[in-house]
Amino acid sequence: MNALTKTDFLFPGQKSVYHGKVRDVYNINDDIMVMVATDRISAFDVVLPKGIPFKGQVLNQIAASFLDATADIVPNWKLATPDPMVTVGLKAEGFRVEMIIRGYLTGSAWREYKNGCRELCGVKLPDGMRENERFPEPIITPTTKADEGHDENISKEEIIRQGIVSAEDYEVMERYTRALFQRGTEIAAKKGLILVDTKYEFGKRDGKVILIDEIHTPDSSRYFYADGYEEKFEKGEAQRQLSKEFVRQWLIDHNFMNRPGDVMPELTDAFVESISDRYIELYEHIVGEKFLKETSGDDVAARIEKNVASWLSTHQS
């Protein structure tokens, strides 16, 4: 199984390229972005040494599906998906903030709560909550976008006070975040899932705030299975999850959390294949369709280059 872990394209009109942890983003004429979802996988802010076959296709197709399913409530950057691993769209000036919205007390929020924290990013939390309990209403806990290292929690008030985002733009982002989470929650419920928490990124183009990047993927979101949620919650048991939490848990079990001195465990071929299978399972649950592996040609990079160049030649003046 081939995994695409590195890209080095030179598309017509290309001005620059940004290699992220998972995505490689090509800037075409300062107007269009070509976002390639590679098969790289990251956890604890580090890219794992092996790629996961079909992971990029899974993430790209889930994100494209949700961008289409929410375009009526929030404008977004997507123009087309010329390849199963690629989305092309409008270039926007990204805000230096990620909008994280949480419907349930879990993950890092629970870890902080358990240690006595009762305020998260300026949001007051009620006493007496338990792990995986639903909030009375979803809370927004933004983080700053770090070029390197960890993103940092920050309050709405600090974002505005520091001039990271204007009060006017932040209000729009906040409104869009709640509308997207509501829509995502409704779509998930139809699939027997609970959208637990997620993150959105926004940018500005022609003076207008638009949604950018991926949405509602297992890399950016956490899902619980609705069936059994109440029973497990009452018993204080771990919820059945659809997210890449299982990869983090495997690393924790092998004593890796990217702390000083931690050594990355070896990813066996069998484990890599099991991650690939889990991502495909996630796709089929979240999208509600059978996943069709794109296997045309052995050279994934050559296929992507051909498909994107063909789209650009047709759509660029």
Indicate the Cα dihedral angle 64, 70, 72, 78, nearest 10°: -30
The residue among 202, 216, 175 whose CA lies nearest residue 92 is 202
Residue bearing tokens 């098969």? 39
pLDDT at 219: 86
pLDDT at 150: 65
Model confidence, pTM: 0.92
Name residues of the chain where pLDDT drops below 70. 1, 146-150, 297, 317
Tokens of 26: 């090509």
pLDDT at 197: 97
CA angle 205, 209, 215 (to 5 degrees): 105
Residues 41 and 71: their CA atoms lie apart, in Å, by 28
pLDDT at 148: 60
pLDDT per position as a tens digit, 83-106: 999 999 999 999 999 999 999 999
Structural domains of the chain ordered from first start: 14-92+269-315 (3.30.200.20), 94-242 (3.30.470.20)
The residue among 62, 53, 26, 17 whose CA lies nearest residue 309 is 26
